[in-house]
């Protein structure tokens, strides 16, 4: 509790001095005896009284927050574990508000940077018990299957090939790239190339293999 009292007063009409005379008879002579009378005109013009109170409470940014459930929606393909590993917090952690807000922003940026989602939103709400704060992560997944055609010329440029128009001197086929394979942010790609030079390839990429 903070108490502030302000008192102010002002004096107007500063002191005025008057000299009064008194006539007396002394040994047959008339004489005047001056008497100094000092008169003050004092006026209380202003009296202010101000009372202010304030309660010392912890800053909102320093309030401890207990993280409750982390709810994830929109992940039709992506596994929940893939989403959670991009966050710097987990259910049951206790953080202050400023730290939680910073971690939420970082977590959202991490999820966007995986290239698995078009949009990511993270919201908070008090749990039913009033003691915990639940998080709600809403995701919009992007398209994960990409077929790509292959057409290559064996000759050094198109003009040379155009003179013969020999399709036996071309390579053709297709790629199929499957991102977010098994919902684990893994990538599988298969390539079939026929024609002048035949080639087949299969690749499998696992990110975060140590996690």
- pLDDT of residue 99 exceeding 80, the answer is yes
Burial of 135 (0-12, 13-18, 19+ CB in 10 A): buried
pLDDT at 62: 64
- Share above pLDDT 70 across residues of the chain, in percent, rounded to a whole number: 69
- Share above pLDDT 90 across residues of the chain, in percent, rounded to a whole number: 49
pLDDT per residue over 139-190, tens digit each? 999 999 999 999 989 888 888 888 888 888 899 999 999 999 999 999 999 9
pLDDT at 27: 54
Most confident option among 25-34, 39-48, 60-69, 163-172 = 163-172
Q: State the average pLDDT over residues 57-79.
A: 83
pLDDT per residue over 185-204, tens digit each? 999 999 999 888 888 999 99
- pLDDT of residue 55 exceeding 80, the answer is no
- The two structure tokens encoding residue 58: 């912890």
């Amino acid at each position: 509790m903070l108490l502030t009292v302000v008192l102010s007063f002002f004096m107007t009409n500063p002191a005025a001095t008057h000299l009064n005379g008194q006539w007396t008879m002394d040994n047959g002579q008339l004489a005047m005896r001056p008497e100094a009378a000092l008169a003050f005109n004092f006026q209380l013009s202003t009296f202010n009284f101000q009372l202010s109170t304030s309660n010392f409470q912890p800053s909102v940014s320093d309030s401890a927050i207990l993280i409750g459930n982390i709810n994830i929606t929109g992940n039709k393909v992506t596994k929940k574990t893939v989403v959670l590993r991009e966050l710097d917090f987990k259910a049951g952690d206790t953080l202050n508000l400023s730290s939680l807000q910073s971690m939420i922003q970082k977590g959202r940026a991490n999820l966007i940077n995986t290239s698995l989602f078009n949009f990511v939103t993270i919201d908070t709400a008090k749990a039913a018990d009033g003691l915990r704060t639940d998080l709600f992560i809403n995701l919009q997944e992007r398209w994960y299957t990409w077929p790509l055609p292959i057409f290559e010329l064996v000759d050094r440029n198109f003009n040379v090939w155009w003179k013969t128009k020999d399709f036996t001197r071309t390579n053709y086929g297709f790629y199929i790239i499957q991102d977010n394979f098994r919902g684990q942010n893994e990538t599988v790609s298969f390539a079939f190339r026929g024609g002048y030079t035949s080639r087949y390839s299969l690749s499998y990429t696992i990110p975060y293999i140590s996690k």
